[in-house]
Structure 1
Amino acid sequence: MRVPHTRGELSAAVIRAFREPGSPFPTVRVDDPWRDADLQLALWICYELHYRGFDEVDPDLADDLDLLAFRRQLEQPWHEALRDLVPHRSTTHERVPEALAELVAADDGPPLASFLQRGATLEQFREFVVQRSIYHLKEADPHSLAIPRLEGQAKAAIIEIQADEYGGGRLSDMHSELFRATMRALDLDDRYGHFIDQASGETLAVNNLISFFGLHHRWTPALLGHLAAFEMTSSLPNRRYGNGLRRLGFDQAATRFYDEHVEADAVHEQIAAHDLCGSYARQHPTAAADIVFGAACALAVEANFGHHLLQRWQAPPASLAS
C-alpha cells in the first residue's frame, strides 16, 4: 500500500520520519481529537506499520523508539477525550454480560442503517462502503491481537468468533473477501487501503480505536468489550444494509457480506458477551470496568461516524466515493 497524503503537520511528521530518520516531531495540540483528521491519520499510519505496512517503508520502523514515543503523544489527547465522553462504569465481574446488554439496549445512535435501507442513493451507499473499506478489508485482524493474551474459555470463545470471520479457512468465505465482492459490485476499487485519502477523521477514529486497544496489552479487556459491542449490535444494521442494496437493484453477490453477518453475529453475540467477556471477567475480576469501557467506546465512535455521514448527506459536498 502506498503512503497516504498528509493532512497537516502531525501526519506530515510521521511520513517525514519514514524518509528522514531522526527528524524532529511537532508538539501535539488538537481541539477535537475525535474528528481531527490530521491526528487520526497520523495515528492510523503509525498503527498500520503493525499490520501490512507501506510500500518502500522499512518494516523495522514499527519498532522505532522515536516514532513510538510520538505515537504515545498522539494517543494521549485522544485517550483523554474518550475518558471524558465515556467515563468508566462501575460493575462487578459477575454482571459483565448483563452490563454489556444494558449498554447496547440503551444505545440510541443515529439512524444510519435505516437511512441506507430506505432512502440512500447509490452514490451515498457507495460512499458508505468506501468509508467502511478501511476496516472491512482487514476485518477481524485488530481483534485477533487479543488471542495470545487469553487462556481457557475466553481464548476458545474468541477463536470461535474469529474463525467465522476468517471464513473457517476458506478464502471465498472470509468476511474481508465478501466485502471485496460488495465493492466490486458497486464498481469500487477493492485494493487494501486504496481509499485512505478519502477516509474522514470519524472513519479513522473508528479504526484507530480498535488498534489502540489491540496494540496495548493493558487495554486487552477493552478490546474484548469492543468486540462484544461489535457483535451485539451488528445483526439488525447488516440486515438493513443488505436490504438497502437489494432496493437499489443489487444481487446476492453484492449483499452476501451483509447477509452473512445477520446470521453469524446473532450467534456471536451470545459467545462474545458470556463465553468471552463473562469468562475473562471471572478470570480477571478487576478488568470488569475496562471491558464495559471498551464496549461503550465502540458505540460512541460508531455513533460519531453515523452522525458525520448523515450530516454530510443533508448538505453534501462532492462525493468521497471516487
Structure 2
Amino acid sequence: MARHGSAVRTLPRSGRLPLPPARGPLSDALTTFLLSAGGEPRQEDLMRLAQRAHTVDVLRDEDVQLTLLLLYELHHEGIDQVVDDLEWDLGLLWVRADLEMALQRSLQVLVHGRHGFGRGTRPEFLTGPARVDAELVALATARDATGLTAHLALDADLEQFREFFVHHSLHHLVPFREVHSGDPRGTSGVSTTRTTIDLGLDDAHGAYVSRLPATSLAAVNTATMFGLHRRDRGALAGHLAFSHLSSPSLGTAVGDGLRRLGLRGGATGSSAPETQPAQPGPDAGTGRELVASLLAAEPELAADVVFGARAGASLARLVAEEVLGAWSAGTSSLLPADHHDDAPDSHQVLRLVGRRPRG
C-alpha cells in the first residue's frame, strides 16, 4: 500500500502546539501575523482574506480549518514561537468569528440540508426530553454505514491503525475534556494515551497536526466552537452525549482489531460490527444526564441538543468515508509529511491583500 511516509514522529515536548506549515493564503497570513507578534500583515488584511471562507467548502478546506485550529489554540496551550498576548487580539477575534459563522452554516447544510430547520426552532418531533433522548440513542447506536468499525475490527493493518489514532490525536483538546475527569479516553471513546505508545506513535501535544486533513480538523474545531460559546451550550451537550453513547461500538472494534494484530486494545469484549449495532455503555449516562439536566432547566434548547449530536454523527461519518476511501485506493488517509498545499510565502500574502512588503 502506498504511503505518505510513516506516521511516527518525535517532537520537542514544550507543551505548546508546534506551528505547522501553512495550507493557503489565509493560514500563511495568520502565521506571518503570529510570528511577527501582530506586525504584518495588518488586521484588516487578515479580515479580508477570511472572507474566502464564505465561498469554499469549509469542512473540506485545508486553509480555513488550519487557520481556525490555530486561532483556537491561542486560548488553549499556546503555539510555539507565538506570544500569549495575541490570545485576545481584537482583529484575530474578528477573523475567528467570521470563520465560525461560515463553519456554522456548513454544519447546518451537512446536518439538515439547505432547506432544513435551523437551530433555535422546535420541531414537534423533537419536543420533550424523552424524545430527544431517544433521538440521541438512535443516532449513536445506528449501524455504521461507512464500514469503518468493521474494517478496524476485521481487516485494518498496523499502519492503518496508526493513521486512525493520528486522526484522533487532537480530540483531547476540546473544551469539554474536563467532563472526562479520570477517563483516559478522548471524545471518540478510544483509549489514546496507552495505545499510541504501543503503536510507536508520538503522544506529544499536537505532534501530528500537520498531517491531519481538513475534515479531521473540522471535527475538532466544531467541538471547540461549541465549547467556547454560551449560545452553543445545547449543541455542546448533544455533541458530548453522542460521543459518549457511540463510544462502545468504536472502542470495541478498535480493541478487537488491536488484539487481532497481537497488541493491547483499548476495549474489552468482542463484537460483530458489520451486523450488530452496539448499545450504550455504562459511561454513556454522563452525556445523557447532562442533556436531561439542561433540558429540564431550558427545554427550548431541545433542537440545539439534537443539532449538536447530529453534527457529531455527520462529521464522524464524513471523516470515516474519507479515511476508508483513501485506504480502499491504497493510499494514506493523512497529508504527506511535507504537505504545504502550495502556500504562498509572506511576501506573496502581502501582495495578495494589496500591500507591499516592508524593507
TM-score past 0.5 threshold: yes
Report the Cα distance in structure 1 between the residues aligned to 2:93 and 2:145, rounded to whole angstroms. Answer: 34
**How many residues were matched structurally?**
290
Q: CA deviation at 1:105?
A: 4.6
What residue number does 1:19 align with? 35
Q: Specify which of 65, 68, 73 is matched with residue 98 of structure 2.
A: 73
Q: CA deviation at 1:54?
A: 1.0
Q: CA deviation at 1:99?
A: 2.7
What residue number does 2:291 align with? 277
Q: Specify which of 128, 146, 155 is matched with residue 93 of structure 1.
A: 128
Please show how residues 21-170 of structure 1 align to structure 2 within 5 Å. 21=38, 23=41, 24-25=45-46, 26-29=49-52, 30-87=55-112, 88=118, 90=123, 91-94=126-129, 95-106=131-142, 108-136=144-172, 138=173, 141-144=174-177, 162=179, 165-167=180-182
Q: CA deviation at 1:178?
A: 5.2
Distance 1:76 1:61, change over 3 A: same
Deviations along 1:5-49, whole A, 9 cap, x unmatched?
100012112212212315221143242111111111111111111
Residue 17 of structure 1 contacts residue 67 of structure 1 at CA under 8 Å; is this kept in 2? no
Q: CA deviation at 1:96?
A: 2.2
The one-letter code matched in structure 2 to 1:174 is: P
Q: CA deviation at 1:258?
A: 3.7
Q: Alignment partner of 1:266: what SS? A: coil
Residue 252 of structure 2 contacts residue 268 of structure 2 at CA under 8 Å; is this kept in 1? yes
Report the Cα distance in structure 1 between the residues aligned to 2:298 and 2:329, rounded to whole angstroms. Answer: 48
Is the counterpart of residue 239 in structure 1 residue 252 in structure 2? Answer: yes
Deviations along 1:187-208, whole A, 9 cap, x unmatched?
1111110100100111101101
What residue number does 2:241 align with? 228
Report the Cα distance in structure 1 between the residues aligned to 2:218 and 2:104, rounded to whole angstroms. Answer: 11
What residue number does 1:185 align with? 198
Unaligned runs of 5+ in 2: 1-16, 113-117, 272-277, 338-359
Is the counterpart of residue 287 in structure 1 residue 301 in structure 2? Answer: yes
Residue 96 of structure 1 contacts residue 281 of structure 1 at CA under 8 Å; is this kept in 2? no
Deviations along 1:177-222, whole A, 9 cap, x unmatched?
9522211111111111010010011110110110010111110110
Q: CA deviation at 1:299?
A: 0.2
Q: CA deviation at 1:104?
A: 3.3
What residue number does 1:266 align with? 281
Distance 1:317 1:108, change over 3 A: closer
The one-letter code matched in structure 2 to 1:111 is: G
* TM-score, normalisation: structure 2: 0.74
* TM-score, normalisation: structure 1: 0.83
Report the Cα distance in structure 1 between the residues aligned to 2:145 and 2:229, rounded to whole angstroms. Answer: 27
Distance 1:189 1:4, change over 3 A: same
Unaligned runs of 5+ in 1: 146-161, 168-172
Residue 74 of structure 2 contacts residue 87 of structure 2 at CA under 8 Å; is this kept in 1? yes
Q: CA deviation at 1:108?
A: 4.8
* Aligned-residue RMSD, C-alpha: 2.5
Q: CA deviation at 1:317?
A: 3.0
Q: CA deviation at 1:74?
A: 1.4
Q: CA deviation at 1:268?
A: 2.4
Report the Cα distance in structure 2 between the residues aligned to 1:100 and 1:53, rounded to whole angstroms. Answer: 34
Report the Cα distance in structure 2 between the residues aligned to 1:9 and 1:259, rounded to whole angstroms. Answer: 46
Distance 1:178 1:240, change over 3 A: closer
Distance 1:246 1:36, change over 3 A: same
Q: Alignment partner of 2:69: what SS? A: helix
Distance 1:96 1:306, change over 3 A: same
Q: Alignment partner of 2:23: what SS? A: coil
Report the Cα distance in structure 1 between the residues aligned to 2:286 and 2:325, rounded to whole angstroms. Answer: 35
Greater helix fraction, Structure 1 or Structure 2: 1
Higher Cα radius of gyration: 2
